[in-house]
Structure 1
Amino acid sequence: MFKPSLLIASAAAACALATGAHAEPLSREFTYTGFYHVEGGQYLPNATLYGYFDSDDRNGDGRIELSEVTSFILNSQQYVGWCGPEVFMCGLFDFSYAPGSALNFHTAWSTDPWGEGVAGGSVISGVEAKEHSYWPGGSASYTLRWTEDTMLSMSPVPEPASYGMLALGLGVLALSARRRSRS
């Protein structure tokens, strides 16, 4: 018969093997808040850019570079892999991040340039986020610039295996409590 401490140690070892025992989460969510709106000529404290990225620190240096990003989504637009049915071109052209330092990236997207009109945009973190549209007879643009008041918040996104470990841990605790109540 297993003792609860042996059962807990066995479960922890199995979970570490199953998850690959990464020191840092592979997914992060981020939000930038507070931008200067160029066309409106005013600071917008509640203006936000949000997103998340998945990465794999293949070289183990603790810094994520462009080649290690497996998914990058900014304001609901995917920039790595397939762009989606409405977007002609998109890409993540520069990226770097190390825990405790700035998040640096450059993205761009565009609709079909041979259509009736064209829309597109780009974001260079720390500089500006710009979207523009051109159509027969008109155009529009929307530009947000970073200021010293622009704030970045970043948080890890738990991996699906983390939820499995949590469920397993809660199950082990429930089993231990049940065995103790029988005694």
Structure 2
Amino acid sequence: MKLANFFRAALVIGTLFAGLTQSAQASIYTYTGDTTGGPTYNRPLEDLSDVSGIGTDVNYSTFTFTVDTSGEYSFLQTTDQYDGVLYIYENSFNPADPLTNALGGSDDLVAPWTSGFAGPLDAGISYVLVTTSFYNGDAGAFSVTISGPGLVTVSAVPEPSTYLMLALGLAAIGYTQRRKLQR
């Protein structure tokens, strides 16, 4: 009897370690942000069937990323006590046309301040997560956790002010070169 209990305990411990080994191969990536003062758009309904009248002029934040391994990924968003909504887009997100490239959305996963979903992602494809709120005027801090079989790579997307600085710098270099040639 004691030998049977020993083998049963060994089987349970072995299963636990096997589960730990499997989950250790998965990647988990968490990012945080705040939609307060962010740009606004008219968000789509959760099922992407239309653009919502309730979600008119809601603040949003975007996060662009790729994964290095194709497979099933899960997304969990928690917000700072406001009714958050999470969407995923493939390749690009256009706030003027929020249904184009949309793959899915989620609202109220566990409670009004959590949302999430799971789905297949392909390696090397650019994805955009859009964090927003259900109601106009709701905004605040959020956290999104992505988990799956591969690594999440964040795409560096320059802010518009960065492009302005680049353009001004190039203009200054061009002006300087022109002055040198006129001498």
What TM-score, normalized to structure 1?
0.31
Higher relative contact order (CA 8 A, sep 6+): 2
What TM-score, normalized to structure 2?
0.31
Give the strand-richer structure, 1 or 2: 1
